Amino acid sequence: MKKAFNVTASSIYPLGVCFVPDGLHISMVCNDREECGILLFDRSHKEGQKIPFPDGLRKGSIYSMLLKGYHNRDCSYLFYSGEKIYQDPYALALENNRKYGEIVSRPARCKVYDGAYDWEDDRPLKIPYEDSIFYMLHVRGFTKHRSSGVRCKGTYAGVVEKIPYLKSLGITAALLMPAYEFDEVFHEDKRNLNMEQAPLDYKEILEESSEGKEAPVRVNYWGYQEGLYMMPKYAYSYDKDAIKEFKDMVKALHKNGIEVMMQFYLPPELPYIYILDILNRWVLEYHLDGFQLMGVDVPMQMLCREPLFAETKLIGERDFCLKQENKTSGKDNVNVFRNFGYLNDSFLYEMRKFIKGDSNMIESLISLCRMNASDRGIVNYIARQDGFRLADMVSYNAKYNEANGENNNDGISQNYSWNCGIEGKTRKKNILKLRMCQMKNAMTLVLLSQGTPLIYSGDEFGNTQEGNNNPYCQDNPVCWIKWNMFKANEELFKYTRELIALRKKYKILHFATPLRGMDYLSCGYPDISFHGRDAWKPDTSSESRSLGIMYCCKYGKDADEKDDTFIYIGINMHWETHKFGLPQMPKDLEWVRLYSTTDDIYDIERSEGKESEDIHNVVLLPRTISIYITRKRKEINGTTRKRPEKPVNKVGKDERVKN
């Protein structure tokens, strides 16, 4: 039996549909001049009841009304305008039971959501950029593979099951690829392009197929498209209540010291107020710690000035001039939270060229390894979702995107990769050994450079996409993290974990302000210095492919003020061995090799056999990075000598660098 509705005027805001004490508030934006309103479904109106907005209840392009006395919490709804039926862009929940990739004939109905959730004592972690280590993951692909070892594969709950793994690795923030609600199913004629093409092509209306036939159905696995931004994606939930499961995931990650951030693709048509409402929702309702905002003309400067986001990371795709007041506290002159950051694309391209041995790269290396800013975050990465994975970067010279169905014309053609001598898969031990070394070299540069490192999930143990550098439509093992590869590449995981621990231990490796290259403490050493065959004399010529970098831990303000540790990173990307001169240390200190990216370590040798205590050299093999650290002599030569921690790689019986 249909029921009559008592329709009265209501306030314009909030937009969307929600219950208020007097009934059901409805507000929608409609630029059409046709009849518009709500299509309401409940027990009395199972087929849906159209309720138009009465004349006179319109201000600007916003219509609003109140269904006075209506309090049926089980109702669902859609909006309509003329003959068009569509979902509420401000909807907070869905009546959605479909599986991922399932084709539906009509949009899922929206639900009015006003459920309570116990966040307990959950609070934003507010980890600053310099102390952060970002880890990008796809909620579905992270645990969907049969080898993931989790019960709730491909879901928010599956991510929770992997928290012990994330903690053991040492990352501080999970950056989720789009996990807001979107329809991942699309037709061939409305395909998504790569990340360079998509924003420019967004407004284009593609023609129907010439034969009048419906194009093949495909899946937008990445999710870089417009959607229902106010809610998490239901198909990524193990249980029906996706909202609760997403919040459970955030709360669990926070309890383990891991922030949660998310990517949002925002097309240029979205008004600023809508973008603001979206981010407000995810900060207040879902406790997100930050966002990576993608798309053309995203209003980053305006968003960064919003008071609510003063302690929320807002990461853009490029840098810009952010005019703002000096963010320091007068009492201690300590920088407060920096909310703006950007992806440093130059790091990816220049470091890849350096690792594969291109010439004229030392100046770029010096610039990028110390690039930092006191008023913004700089995010460094060498692999992300679009482009080669770390393992593919050292295994393929060309892309292999045939499975995407675009004749290998999609994706970036210039990947600055090197296959180490053989294209693709191989069983040759010397090639596999070189590839492992190159992956370690890449991880070293990402994790021991200033700025904020970003690791793509699976790269820490050599997960591969088999040479596909644009698998946006591949919901299969090509994109899924293949956990059965972990054992074969556990060496890389352990090395990455040790680098993260080293970075966290020494503040000089993740400074909040740019390093000066000066001795401003009058301690005899600058905060950062560069070296070559001879200490203090870096070779920056176009043919040079080696460099020594030394950090003085006396400048680590958050560390022990008496920390006399020095860290030296010897980098040799040449195909020949190179000798490095380590700076002479105070008499009570001696150099110790900590890690190396190769198992084959040359013996340490004195320069030309001289016995001088003022000169000591090390020799690095081709395409190798070695990390040295100082220790007190008594800890090495004394009778109560403590053994140094066992390094990840074999470094010989005697780890000391003799003078």
Written as one string, the DSSP assignment of 477-514 is TTTS--GGGTTTTHHHHHHHHHHHHHHHH-GGGS-SS-
* Residue percentage of the chain with pLDDT more than 90: 76
The more confidently predicted of residues 426 and 34 is 426
For residues 308 and 280, give the distance between their C-alpha atoms in angstroms, rounded to a whole number.
8
User: What pTM was computed for the model?
Assistant: 0.89
Q: How confident is the model at residue 96 (pLDDT cuts 50, 70, 90)?
A: confident
Sequence-distant (≥ 6) Cβ neighbours of residue 474 within 8 angstroms: 221, 403, 404, 468
**pLDDT tens track for 505-548:** 999 999 999 999 999 999 999 999 999 999 999 999 999 999 99
Lowest mean pLDDT among 171-175, 399-403, 589-593: 589-593
Domains of the chain are: 6-86 (2.60.40.10), 516-637 (2.60.40.1180)
- Which residue carries 């810009």 as its tokens? 320
Q: List helix spans (H) across 285-404.
A: 300-304, 345-355, 362-369, 390-393
Categorize the per-residue pLDDT at 603 as very low, low, confident or very high, splitting at 50, 70 and 90: very low
Spell 471-506 as b/e; 16+ CB within 10 A means b: bbbbbebbbbbbbebbeebebbbebbbbbbebbeeb
Give residue for tokens 């239901």.
234
Question: Burial code of 615-640, b = ≥16 C-beta within 10 A, e = fewer?
Answer: bbbbbbbbbbbbbbbbbebeebeeee
User: Is the peptide bond between 14 and the residue preceding it cis, with omega within 30 degrees of 0?
Assistant: yes
The tens digit of pLDDT for each residue in 536-587 reads 999 999 999 999 999 999 998 654 556 889 999 999 999 999 999 999 998 8
Kindly report which listed range (189-203, 271-285, 386-400, 401-415) carries the lowest average pLDDT score: 189-203
Judge whether residue 335 has pLDDT over 80.
no
| Contact predicate 353/330, CB 8 Å | no
* Segment 207-238, tens digit of pLDDT: 343 344 555 688 999 999 999 999 999 999 99
Q: Residues 119-135: pLDDT tens digits?
A: 999 999 999 999 999 99
| pLDDT score of 337 more than 90 | no
Q: What is the pLDDT of residue 656?
A: 38
Q: What is the mean pLDDT of the chain?
A: 88
What is the rounded distance in angstroms from the CA atom of residue 273 to the CA atom of residue 29? 12
Which carries the bigger pLDDT value, residue 655 or residue 49? 49
The pLDDT of 110-122, averaged and rounded, is 92
Instruction: Place 646 in a pLDDT band, splitting at 50, 70 and 90.
Output: very low
The CA distance from 93 to 87, in Å, is 11
Q: In the numeric block, which tokens belong to residue 387?
A: 């482009």
Contact 188, 218 (CB under 8 A): yes
**Mean pLDDT value of segment 231-260:** 97
